[in-house]
Chains A and B, each alone.
Chain A
Amino acid sequence: MRYAGVRESFRTAISSLRVRRTRAFLTILGIVIGVATVIAIVSFIAGLDRAVEKEFASIGSDVLYIGKYPWIWTGKWYDYRRRPNITVDIADRLRERLTYAEYVVPEITENGSVSYRSTTVEDVNIVGTSQDYIYIENAEVKMGRFLSEIENARKRHSVVLGWGLFDAFGSDQGIVGKRVYINGRPFKVVGVLARRGRAFGRERDNMVYIPIKTLLKYAKHRQRRSVNICVKGRSIEEIGLLREEVISAMRVIRGLKGYEENDFSINEMSQLLDMYASQTKNIYLAMVLIGALSLLVGGVGVMNIMLVSVTERTREIGVRKALGARRRDILTQFLIEALVLCWVGGVIGIMLGFLLPFLVSVATEFPFAFSVKAVAVGFLFTTGVAIFFGMYPAAKAAKKDPIYALRYE
């Protein structure tokens, strides 16, 4: 089956658009707005995705987090609460057993106040941990050093200050070796961390780090506190093996029988990413569809103008048929005209659709990402609209009786 004169149809389409410039412009305005909306939404979503991924990157993807509770709750809270606490002792035993782990670091946090000379900072995150913490968190020591193994073993009153505290204490360059008071107890400053910024909306500079055993010594209700254990793997490729190893080691340590379920949770970043993806998928789809609605409105405009055009050009259709145009030739011609109309609108819309979020991202902190997907979506939607709304007028044109059409005034 041949479709004669596709190229000629494109030329005819472009010239007929030129002749009726104002009308064509008004018609494609609907398409422009519709496509721009869809593109803007898709690029906002791409920007959001990118921002979230950036946040998640602050959690190493090669780190497993063992805790009493899972990050994503799937069961009943009282089932989790019944679980035994995770202790620092377990961290030590895991460190001995795990072959795929590079670092095993226990961690627990409390809130409290920190004072230096006459300055007191309230509501500070007091992190009890061990010497390898900085390797897991990719933190950098700015002055002095991080905590040592011996300080933990001896439950010493040593502290490493976060950047925020150092800053609050007047950026005293000689602060290392000085004494600060944490919840009224004296601690010796052994180091200061470089600025870490925020992650998951959490300020990570308003923290101090002390040996976990020291923290537990003073913690209220210390029997009821469960620590978290961070296990960093040797490589991302072996994370699956590490997970298996951690599970079996934990079951051995806990003395679980074969039929008993795990009484601990292993958390990792990929779970959060999966959850984010599954939670947002439908919302995003709905957003794109709502955007596409405005494109439909544009499509109705295209159909309307194509119908007018078909009527106006009845005689032309008659002539073409008299010269040997078949139904499908006429159909193709008018479909191509609708396509050209929509594509012109689509191109302008795609450009506008990128400009809009770009301007927003310049003016605000809202993320924006150029995505090829957005262009593809825009193009597909436009083409779909053109064919859907162009088909009826084109079919109407193709069906015209040549005798009647030739006499049409």
Chain B
Amino acid sequence: MLIHLERATKIYLLGNEKIYGLRDVNLSIEKGEYVSVMGPSGSGKSTMLNILGFLDKLTSGRYIFNGEDVSSLSEEKLAFYRNRTVGFIFQTFNLLPRMTALGNVELPLIYRGVRRDVRLRSARSALASVGLSKRMYHRPNELSGGERQRVAIARAIVGSPSMILADEPTGNLDQATGEEIIQILDSLHDAGNTIILVTHEESVARHADRIIRLRDGRVESDERIR
């Protein structure tokens, strides 16, 4: 089991008011699974993604990752886990504008302390795998939306993470480009990667093996569709 949440609860304080991001969520995801997370805004999708991606910590409950309790890691350890185990793909791409595609893809390896030549080799092959060999030295503003998202995918997979967390990866793309991106995710899954995909498009969600629906911080339904 890769991910196991046990009575996972996240509470935000807004003044004196308690807002539940997650409420007693129990959830397990196996290695190699392809999971879509759906739900209206405020349902806890982002909170879930932040928790799973080590960007945030639970208020109560437990998060077991790869057999280890990672519920209360130090800031330093969180950064370590983000670097080694997570590949993020964002709706808005979040590429660094002043860097080339190659530079952006290199970043996770820089923070891992990988030697420059090894880093460059990995980054090139990651870009090649998303079909961007010819655009490596372009900056984000010289690339189309689809190309930018493919750079982001290359950045997510360059360090061979345990899971890929994609937050509305097609949200800023047109229909056709969005499909291209989803196809890349599909092929990553076929290659054995664990993918957790947050989306509100039913058609996108149906690419996964399993759809988890959230509402008000709780799991509303958890159906296996394949």
CB distance from B199 to the nearest CB of A (A): 18
Q: What chain B residues lie within 8 Å of A406 (beta carbons)?
A: 55, 90, 94
CB distance from A395 to the nearest CB of B (A): 14
Within 8 A of B (CB), among A327-381: 327, 329
How many chain B residues sit at the interface, stated as a range, is 20 to 34
Q: With A4-B111, A8-B110 as known contacts, state yes or no: A323 contacts B82, CB within 8 Å.
A: yes
Q: Which residue of A lies closest to B108 (CB)?
A: A323
The secondary structure that dominates the A interface is helix
Q: What chain A residues lie within 8 Å of B50 (beta carbons)?
A: 403
Q: Which residue of A lies closest to B165 (CB)?
A: A322
Q: Which residue of A lies closest to B49 (CB)?
A: A403
Q: Which residue of B lies closest to A325 (CB)?
A: B111
Number of interface residues of A (CB under 8 A): 25
Cβ contact within 8 Å between B90 and A5: no
Interface residue from B75, B79, B94 paired with A315 (Cβ < 8 Å): B94
Q: What chain A residues lie within 8 Å of B83 (beta carbons)?
A: 323-325
Cβ contact within 8 Å between A316 and B96: yes
Within 8 A of B (CB), among A293-324: 315-316, 318-324
Cβ contact within 8 Å between B56 and A403: yes
* Residue interface mask B69-91, A partner, CB < 8 A = 1: 00000011001101110001010
Q: What chain B residues lie within 8 Å of A267 (beta carbons)?
A: none
Q: Which residue of A lies closest to B97 (CB)?
A: A316
Cβ contact within 8 Å between B80 and A319: no
Q: Which residue of B lies closest to A16 (CB)?
A: B98
For the complex, is A99 an interface residue (Cβ under 8 Å from B)?
no
Q: What chain A residues lie within 8 Å of B107 (beta carbons)?
A: 320, 323
For the complex, is B112 an interface residue (Cβ under 8 Å from A)?
yes
CB distance from A333 to the nearest CB of B (A): 10
CB distance from A324 to the nearest CB of B (A): 2
For the complex, is A252 an interface residue (Cβ under 8 Å from B)?
no
Cβ contact within 8 Å between B94 and A19: no
Interface residue from A4, A316, A319 paired with B110 (Cβ < 8 Å): A4
Q: What chain A residues lie within 8 Å of B53 (beta carbons)?
A: 322
Cβ contact within 8 Å between B88 and A322: yes
CB distance from B212 to the nearest CB of A (A): 21
Q: What chain B residues lie within 8 Å of A214 (beta carbons)?
A: none
Q: Which residue of A lies closest to B152 (CB)?
A: A319
Docked Cα-Cα span, A8 to B104, in Å, equals 11
Docked Cα-Cα span, A12 to B84, in Å, equals 23
For the complex, is B155 an interface residue (Cβ under 8 Å from A)?
yes
CB distance from B68 to the nearest CB of A (A): 18
Q: List 22 A-B contacts (CB under 8 A).
A: A2-B113, A4-B113, A5-B110, A8-B106, A15-B98, A19-B98, A316-B96, A320-B111, A322-B53, A323-B83, A323-B88, A323-B108, A324-B82, A324-B83, A324-B84, A324-B108, A326-B76, A327-B75, A327-B76, A327-B79, A402-B55, A403-B55
